[in-house]
Amino acid sequence: MRIAIAILNWNGKSWLEKFLPGVIQYSSETEIYVIDNASTDDSIDFVRRTFPLVKIIENASNSGFAAGYNEGLRSIDADVFCLLNSDVEVTEGWLQRVVALFKENPEIAVIQPKILDYNNRNQFEFAGAAGGFLDNLGYPYCRGRLFETVETDLGQYDDEAEIFWASGCCFFIRSKDFWARDGFDERFFAHQEEIDLCWRLQNAGRRIFYTSQSTVYHVGGGTLNKQSARKTFLNIRNNFTMLLKNLPTKAVFPVLLARLILDAAAAVHFGLKMGFPHFLAVIQAHFSFYRQIPGTLKLRKGPQLQKYFNAKFIIFKHFL
């Protein structure tokens, strides 16, 4: 099974300098690629000089996570792509169980390892933790992370389990499955494109898995930190687009209506907690979603997943 590790880079020399040596050390018998999104720093020259066996793919522009990977992966021939953030530390033996799971289970399209916090190494990391799910209103959450609350790793998720979505920070996917679903939706730019892809794969009868027998440590916020209003905008806009695209027909109107009402409260919450730019980002996200509706409706093709959630009303249970 040919594994290609693809690290998307944009002005990330410091991350490559810190974490690429470990990827090389613990990833024998794989090909390692850096896909560069038109960086303006000297990160690519640094990789060429320091890691001559790492292959470099240079995209023409910074088109974001979704389009950047779509463009770069077209130049890679492998059975499995590992999409790995540049701010991830891998560990010894992180590939073995993932490869075995793919070989043992041909119905599995995507696998995520256990993702822990690089700076608080006994805690799960926000972006993925021990595998992702959606509630019945379309709010993403993880085993090990619910909204901003993150759990300590006490072995409670030391298992292998089917999940709804895998984190894009360390995302193993069969290449044939990636291209069968046309890759990521490039309109997303970044954030939740991996949830959308996992949803579409499940609509096609494929499965998403988590294994605790592979562990990585994620810094988080390497491109957009948690305080970025741009991050708030992308998360809200992309979540609405994903719901309209993938929800069962009978659920589209009630779920989106409920979310519109709840987002009025979210706008106030973000504004009070993080400042006016975040309040404005919620409003802008809605108008951007409305502009995307015609194109999104065209992508509602094939069967939509009839049972898509693992929990009900987590926002009320968590906050109230």
Instruction: Output the pLDDT for position 266.
Output: 83
Q: Is the pLDDT confidence value at 222 over 60?
A: no
Q: What is the mean pLDDT of the chain?
A: 94
Confidence of residue 169 (pLDDT cuts 50, 70, 90): very high
CB-CB contact of 54 with 47 (8 Å): yes
Q: Is the pLDDT confidence value at 224 over 70?
A: no
Q: What angle do CA 60, 63, 65 make, to 5 degrees?
A: 120
Percentage of the chain modeled with pLDDT above 70 = 98
Instruction: Output the pLDDT for position 223.
Output: 55
Q: Is the pLDDT confidence value at 221 over 80?
A: no
pLDDT, tens digit, 9 for 90 and up, residues 12-67: 999 999 999 999 999 998 999 999 999 999 999 999 999 999 999 999 999 999 99
Instruction: Output the pLDDT for position 320.
Output: 77
pLDDT, tens digit, 9 for 90 and up, residues 300-313: 988 899 888 989 99
Residue 103 CB neighbour total at 10 angstroms: 11
Instruction: Output the pLDDT for position 238.
Output: 98
CA-to-CA separations, 69 to 113, 189, 207, 219, 256, in angstroms, rounded: 20, 10, 21, 20, 29
20, 26, 25, 30: which is closest to 77 by C-alpha? 30
Summarize the confidence of residues 292-301 as an average pLDDT: 95
Confidence of residue 226 (pLDDT cuts 50, 70, 90): low
Summarize the confidence of residues 128-155 as an average pLDDT: 96
pLDDT, tens digit, 9 for 90 and up, residues 80-102: 999 999 999 999 999 999 999 99
In three state form, how does the secondary structure of the chain look? Answer: CCEEEEEEECCCHHHHHHHHHHHHHCCCCCEEEEEECCCCCCHHHHHHHHCCCCEEEECCCCCHHHHHHHHHHCCCCCCEEEEECCCEEECCCCCHHHHHHHHHCCCEEEEEEEEEECCCCCEECCCCCCCEEEECCCCEEECCEECCEECECCCCCCCEEECCECCCCEEEEEHHHHHHCCCCCHHHCCCCHHHHHHHHHHHCCCEEEEEEEEEEEECCCCCCCCCCHHHHHHHHHHHHHHHHHHCCHHHHHHHHHHHHHHHHHHHHHHHHHHCHHHHHHHHHHHHHHHHHHHHHHHCCCCCCCCCCCCECCHHHHHHC
Summarize the confidence of residues 247-273 as an average pLDDT: 90
